[in-house]
Structure 1
């Protein structure tokens, strides 16, 4: 590899190489291409996208999102605000109810797009819900900018950061129930925090829950028309327009297989970095990578249905996302079981019904249901029957609608995406220390000890979700360290996609 002290056997020198075509890899590639650099992307699978693929997994005509399905960050992330998916014909469709939390007895707590309407539905806890989330909703942009930072720079909006910190400390501690009186609001918030696949009464899951809950009211939880693959297809098309090249069906097992390049961005988990560069890494760094803790896992089950899910609470029919676990206490118990390496008898189930806004996901009158249950890392168990039981609990008659199902156990998740080690779709355990100091404790988490080689996966800050920011943060460092380019990477992307910049416009930068 040119200038990096590594020899590449690939043909044709390029400025930068990216391994992995998930959202983070493509975001990094777009930043580099927008700076006028020649970029090549290698993807092991035959199709791009990583966790944003959409396929006919069950029956012909039923389109299922293979991993990610709902995308608040597609509107909120600093990268996607610069990239602007609407410019690339990606239509983000908004369910009237971003998420719902069914409860026993035909009840449900509902998070409407409108904060006041949500508060009204929560009765005596409505004021508490509004006071908790209202200031975060009003300041959602600085909130997201802080949450998706590299965790190495002082917050640009200290007031918002302080408000978020105080609320996180409250909801991540024994104080989490002080604010509420009933059972609906606590369950509604806990269901969102459990997205972290960790016991929700802890700092990192509490922060995840507060950010996602605020975004439901600020920008919504949209689903892309046609499936999540439209997001990465748009990114790939723009990269190609800027002169980048994507090579699919090419698994990289060694840095020596890459063409000579001044910078390499790896959208891989720590295990992938060890596989690709292990012999070249210092022993201490390698040991720390091996000590990186995987998170809890997901068993993914997709359903083809003959009709809509018959929710006992009729309003749930309008919700894009549903958290199926019951009360706050049940959610806490289920997540603690997974964290302890046990299967919960009634697992936390995340369900998405894209047909609420996107009828094209299934033949006329029929539907798809996207679900996963939280399970211990590496679980071999097919928990589709437990998932069906949880849906039936809140939607009697659901079982009779099932035409087909497709199951991916946690132990087999890596066959779809090598980054999902043991079924960990979050890129590592969501503990406070590991979220900040991932993948190893060092000031620059993106630079590896190998000159010119950077890590840009969800195993670096700010962590999981489809927001592209690990790619942006890694690309920023590559531009500065390897090419002497100090421009704001988001400005480069915004300029390129608006037509004010192009690969050719960056030719003078490459000479640095």
Structure 2
């Protein structure tokens, strides 16, 4: 077991124990340590971060992001706005084109950070795109702050839920086929909706499209951390240890009884993980509710080491950090719906990231990493290498000849890497209407479990997936109120200190 020590407060025994050091576990640790509590975190892997890990796979000079790579929420969420990654030396780099969607015959749709530039390329759908996105961008903070607390508080910006409701009605049903006249605009929005990992169209996926879609046109766009996603995890961990926290790595926890005595325990684990840790301690009704929690489609990932930039048939796609490979709107509706039903297809939706577009230091001597995953049925064990390579080749003829090395991880293998990804579900639970609002069960406080002092703080709680830190932050606030009678949110900024030198 390797420990990262803090200032020594934990020597007296922890007030709080956190299992898991994904972005939410780390966000919870920051919040609780800032409140003056003695915090200890346990991570089964040798490296912290969960979905925020970066490492060399093939070439010691070239690093790959193992899970997440692009982080619009690391700028937009309330937690990260207060934490302020930029002030801590984490540089978030934004490509001119947030995302692109290539089509056949060398066509492509591009989502520039500049909304007007995007609209200018969408022809007769340009005004319709502007009508959809501009109001969302003008009320961006209100929309993010309404969605990310899990819609459990009255919105400060009353227009935010109205704008979302209008957009969801237009794009979450079959009516979305009529919203845009031409395929580029249709595909551009549908590709973002596919981030919801579920059938298309749907209310939940349309909410994802509106949230992520309008952020693509913000000043920050869809940024990548210089040097890789681990920079975010490192900044969070540094703040925890600076405020007395201790992080244990290579420290797998298989039962709650293995943890040291503490007044509060926060678990950055899936409902399946909670069941395993708690054993027979959970009340039957709650245990049955956890067992009924539904997991979504899996992600099957392929990391490539390539010898040159991707040879896109539409060269302007090379300006985008993120590329959606899904074909037409109709093709994505069909493929994503079949995948959600557990049917494997030969042309799945593929999300690709070319980090060196935004961060040239990721390419060394012309060699660069490419990150891609396909949506597949939950638990699928098929090697995705050829499948993903063929999808890229369709829109970038000659890509195969640039591949120097590749590593494939099936959906079932993703769960082996991170048990929170049950069946390869990187969203930690299907984003259906019900599970978007009631994660993981129908409880007034979704973070609090029936076990005294035990809280769930993973992406299986509201607001759900993405690197926003809000699930951990909100779970920590719940624990502060109930276990420590602390009702004031601690300051999180880099220039501030903890609320107390040590919790009394």
Q: TM-score, normalised by structure 1?
A: 0.95
Aligned residues: 494
| Aligned residue in 2 for 1:212 | 212
Please give the alpha-carbon distance, in whole angstroms, between the structure 2 residues aligned to 1:59 and 1:403. Answer: 10
Residues 438-487 of structure 1: per-residue CA shift (max 9 Å, x gap): 11111111000011110000000000000000001101110100111111
3-state SS in 1 of match to 2:58: coil
1:174 maps to 174
Residues of 2 paired with 1:39 and 1:237: CA distance?
Answer: 13
Q: Say whether the 8 Å CA contact 1:59–1:404 is kept in structure 2.
A: no
Confirm whether residue 297 of structure 1 aligns to residue 298 of structure 2. Answer: yes
SS in 2 for 1:30: helix
Deviation at 1:13, TM superposition (A): 2.5
Name which of structure 1's ranges 159-168 and 463-472 shifts more when overlaid on structure 2. Answer: 159-168
Secondary structure in 2 aligned to 1:332? helix
CA RMSD of aligned residues (A): 1.3
* 2:492 match: 493
CA distance in 1, matches of 2:137, 2:200: 21
Aligned-pair CA distance for 1:154:
2.4
**Does 2:111 correspond to 1:111?**
yes
Long gaps (5+) in structure 1: 1-9
- C-alpha separation between the residues in 1 aligned to 2:380 and 2:264? 37
Does 2:394 correspond to 1:398? no
Does 1:420 pair with 2:416?
no
Look up the match of 2:56: 56
| Partner Cα separation in structure 1 for residue 53 and residue 67 of structure 2 | 7
Mapped to 1, the partners of 2:329 and 2:340 lie a distance apart of 16
Q: CA deviation at 1:256?
A: 1.2
Paired with 1:416 and 1:81, the residues of 2 have a C-alpha distance of 30
Distance in 2, Cα, partners of 1:447 & 1:410: 30
Deviation for aligned residue 1:170: 1.3
SS at match of 2:405: strand
Question: 3-state SS of the aligned residue for 1:175?
Answer: helix
2:4 is aligned to: none
For residues 71 and 256 of structure 1, what CA distance do their matches in structure 2 show?
A: 36
Match of 1:331 in 2: 332
SS of residue matched to 1:487: coil
1:42-95 CA-partner distances (Å, limit 9, x unpaired)? 101000000010111233322110000000011101111000001211111111
The answer (yes or no) to whether the contact 2:146–2:153 under 8 Å persists in 1 is: no
* 2:342 partner SS: coil
2:485 is aligned with 1:462: no
Q: Secondary structure at the match of 1:465?
A: coil
Matches of 1:74 and 1:364 in 2, distance apart?
Answer: 30
Question: Within 5 Å, which residues of 2 pair with 1:6-405?
Answer: 13-218=13-218, 219-405=220-406
Contact 2:384 2:409 in 1 (8 A): no
Change (3 A) 1:173 1:506: farther
Following superposition, the deviation at residue 260 of structure 1 comes to 1.1
CA distance in 2, matches of 1:181, 1:24: 41
- C-alpha distance in 1 between matches for 2:83 and 2:365: 33
TM-score normalised according to structure 2 size:
0.96
Question: Which residue number corresponds to residue 5 of structure 1?
Answer: none
User: Secondary structure of the equivalent of 1:56?
Assistant: strand
What is the SS of the residue equivalent to 1:134? helix
Deviations, residues 369-412 of structure 1 (Å, cap 9, x unaligned):
10000000000111221211111111110000000000110011
Secondary structure in structure 2 of the residue aligned to 1:390: helix
Determine if contact 1:52/1:228 at 8 Å carries over to the other structure: yes
Q: Residue 152 of structure 1 contacts residue 443 of structure 1 at CA under 8 Å; is this kept in 2?
A: no
For the Cα contact (< 8 Å) 2:307–2:366, is it kept in 1?
Answer: yes
Hey, what's the Cα distance between the residues in 1 that align with 2:13 and 2:280?
23
1:199-240 residue CA offsets vs partner (Å, 9 max, x unmatched) = 231011110011001001113001111100000001001111
- Deviation per CA, 1:6-40, whole angstroms, max 9, x where unpaired? xxxx9962111111001100101111111111111
Gaps of 5+ in 2: 1-9
Q: For 1:256, what is the secondary structure of its paired residue?
A: helix
